[in-house]
Structure 1
Amino acid sequence: MESFTDALKQRNLKKIREFPKSDLHNHFVLGGSRQYLHKMTGIKIEPVKTPILSMDEMHAWNWENLGERFETSEMRKLLIRATIHQAREDGVTVLEIGEDVWGLSEYFHNDIDELIEAFTTAQREIAPDMELRLQIGLSRHCPIGYLQECLSHFWGNRAFYSIDLYGVELAQPIENFKSIYRRAKKEGLCLKAHVGEWGSAEDVRRAVEELELHEVQHGISAIHDESVVRFLADHHICLNITPSSNILLGRIPGMSGHPIGRLYRSGVDVTINSDDILIFDSDVSKEYLRLYESGCLSAEELDSIRQNGLTVR
């Protein structure tokens, strides 16, 4: 029987897709199958071909390609189904996705059970053997009081696995979110945040220390400070990295020099993930193959990362 490393060395994307893998950094609104969405809506969504240089440009792309056409409860649920379809076709067996807290009132009539059912029903119908980890999402630009009010509907519900902070990384100081993350810790959630994509290595350390994070989404700027790299390795903080996204957002010049290779070899726990498939054409299997073809990581190293992603936390 051929192994995952064999599939990589043969550059056989179809075979790579057959092996189980995780996707722990996926924004479902942009994480779905473009073929499925085209079939269901007639809307053809093409990925970006050249780097976009800011989050503002990314949001502009999002508005142009999705915009108001997907701003209904029905279409939000379709995006969930599209993401689970995509993950199933890509061999993803552990998928972590969730809704932003403001989406509860916007798309699910302020009914937490309706929100949970939208995700779990899609998973049950499309990929019943997949492990679905539901995430609570926080937009970093939102006032803390507003987020706390929204979160009152989520606290105490055991359907949720993790909490994540995302959006414009420098929108407000990380310390502002301490009270929310202390409560999330008491709730037993996996604590995650986007940091170190646009910010500094010190921002990564500060976020981990202030919010007591278990995992960091991105975290690639840690590579610029050896003491932060050692800190992450010593404290077993996992970085959920999205290579193509980093390149197409202009954070990294190319795949061959992506810091995931140096971080992994320095003992930092890393996983390989998709981020926004519709924008970056970045499903997980393609990410593994791109990293291998670029020489950033060997087939054996990539297989080790794949297996680690299936057992994180």
Structure 2
Amino acid sequence: MIPKVELHLHLEGAAPPAFIRDLAREKSIDISGIFDDQGHYAYRDFAEFLKVYEAACEPLQTPEDFRRLTLAVLEQSAEEGVVYTEAFLSPDFCGGGDVAAWRDYLPAIRDAADQAEATHGITLRGIVTAIRHFGPDQARQTALCAAETADDWLTGFGLAGAETVGMPGDFAWSFDCAKEAGLRLTAHAGEWGGAQMVRATLDALPVERIGHGVQAIDDPALVDRLAEDGITLEVCPGSNVALGVVPNWAAHPIAKLRNKGVKVTVSTDDPPFFHTTMRREYDRLSETFGWTEDDFFALNHVALAAAFCDDATRKRIAKKLERP
């Protein structure tokens, strides 16, 4: 199995449905309406996806819940051959955005990460993520959570949620705060907001990575800018197909972007919501674009170079990516 690096994974969004159902049952919370007859997460469009996502987070109420969640997610990732992953962590779901509460949740997540690394050999680093549709004021609180707990494990800050709500510049204070704390920066753009949202994000925020970014393909000058500036795209093809960002795998622009010199990586986003895994992503890319082991080897080294980790960790993971 090819060892893999994943840069775009939402911790709550990676929760196995069975895990959330069991946790809800333990707490006598009825969220049965978010599942279909097969027990999968059920939604019809992106707006409903966000509602189901937030409902699935309702049973996650304590640090111990997040410790268990992290163990479950990392075990599944390790089974897919992932040796290094970066997870988006939302203080809004871990204590309601309160800095003091966040300080209680973070050690539980880190404890689980340490346990998973010892047991499964997978390394996790955290990226605190503000939720765009919760607004700029709430994002400031999230940025403070990130800034006050930044270290060699909590290494990044990002922006997720409904991309069409507000403009990137609305969140400039939060990104400046995170940057001053030494955090590396990424933001979702170009999934729903078009190429213009990618451009606006690059103009307003000091990011070095863009989550998704696939709609940049509609603006040749922007594609050139991404390539020239070395901006890395955290591409999630299966997610884009499942949500209708693109109609099918053949229409996905990842290969075109890569051929034009843009740094692309591959991730699963919220894998159980989109019925995908890292192995499935690789299989579909191979089937659709003829990518070989050489392509995936190069892809993973691009991802590792863009990872928000220290040099010692990068060197250690690089050894795991070496071919036998």
TM-score (norm 1): 0.83
In structure 2, what is the equivalent of residue 4 of structure 1? none
* Equivalent position to 1:289, from 283, 286, 292: 283
Equivalences for residues 229-248 of structure 1 within 5 A: 229-248=223-242
Separation of aligned partners in 1, 2:23 and 2:141? 35
The answer on 1:58 being equivalent to 2:41 is no
After alignment, is 170-179 or 36-45 more displaced?
36-45
Separation of aligned partners in 2, 1:260 and 1:296? 13
Separation of aligned partners in 2, 1:41 and 1:142? 24
In structure 2, what is the equivalent of residue 26 of structure 1? 9
After alignment, is 130-139 or 149-158 more displaced?
149-158
The answer on 1:206 being equivalent to 2:197 is no
Q: Deviation at 1:72?
A: 4.8
Q: Deviation at 1:81?
A: 1.8
After alignment, is 36-45 or 212-221 more displaced?
36-45
Separation of aligned partners in 2, 1:67 and 1:215? 26
In structure 2, what is the equivalent of residue 142 of structure 1? 134
In structure 2, what is the equivalent of residue 304 of structure 1? 298
Equivalences for residues 124-273 of structure 1 within 5 A: 124-128=114-118, 129-157=121-149, 158=151, 159-273=153-267
3-state secondary structure, aligned to 1:87: helix
Separation of aligned partners in 1, 2:262 and 2:60? 38
After alignment, is 268-277 or 94-103 more displaced?
94-103
In structure 2, what is the equivalent of residue 90 of structure 1? 80
Gaps of at least 5 residues in structure 1 are 1-15
Please tell me the residue identity of whatever aligns with 2:5: S
CA 1:120/1:75 → structure 2, altered by over 3 Å: closer, same or farther? closer
After alignment, is 97-106 or 28-37 more displaced?
28-37
Conserved? CA contact 1:255–1:296, under 8 Å:
no
Conserved? CA contact 1:112–1:154, under 8 Å:
no
Conserved? CA contact 2:190–2:198, under 8 Å:
yes
Higher relative contact order (CA 8 A, sep 6+): 1
Separation of aligned partners in 1, 2:58 and 2:155? 30
Separation of aligned partners in 2, 1:139 and 1:114? 20
3-state secondary structure, aligned to 1:287: helix
Q: Deviation at 1:298?
A: 4.3
Separation of aligned partners in 2, 1:302 and 1:206? 30
Conserved? CA contact 2:91–2:97, under 8 Å:
no
TM-score (norm 2): 0.81
After alignment, is 204-213 or 226-235 more displaced?
204-213
CA 1:73/1:184 → structure 2, altered by over 3 Å: closer, same or farther? closer
Separation of aligned partners in 1, 2:279 and 2:240? 16
Give deviations 1:182-237, integer Å, cap 9, x for gaps. Answer: 12222221110110000111210220121011000000000011101000000000
Give deviations 1:82-123, integer Å, cap 9, x for gaps. Answer: 111111111211111142132342499934442221222111
Conserved? CA contact 1:101–1:147, under 8 Å:
no
Equivalences for residues 9-20 of structure 1 within 5 A: 16=1, 19-20=2-3
Separation of aligned partners in 1, 2:143 and 2:180? 14
CA 1:31/1:139 → structure 2, altered by over 3 Å: closer, same or farther? same
Give deviations 1:20-55, integer Å, cap 9, x for gaps. Answer: 211111011121455777888889974469xx6532
CA 1:103/1:267 → structure 2, altered by over 3 Å: closer, same or farther? same
Moved over 6 A (4+): 35-45
- Counting helix residues as a fraction of each chain, which structure ranks higher? 2
CA 1:150/1:228 → structure 2, altered by over 3 Å: closer, same or farther? closer
Gaps of at least 5 residues in structure 2 are 26-31, 308-324
What is the CA RMSD across the aligned residues, in angstroms? 2.7
Conserved? CA contact 2:130–2:143, under 8 Å:
no
Please tell me the residue identity of whatever aligns with 1:132: L
After alignment, is 184-193 or 209-218 more displaced?
184-193
CA 1:206/1:53 → structure 2, altered by over 3 Å: closer, same or farther? farther
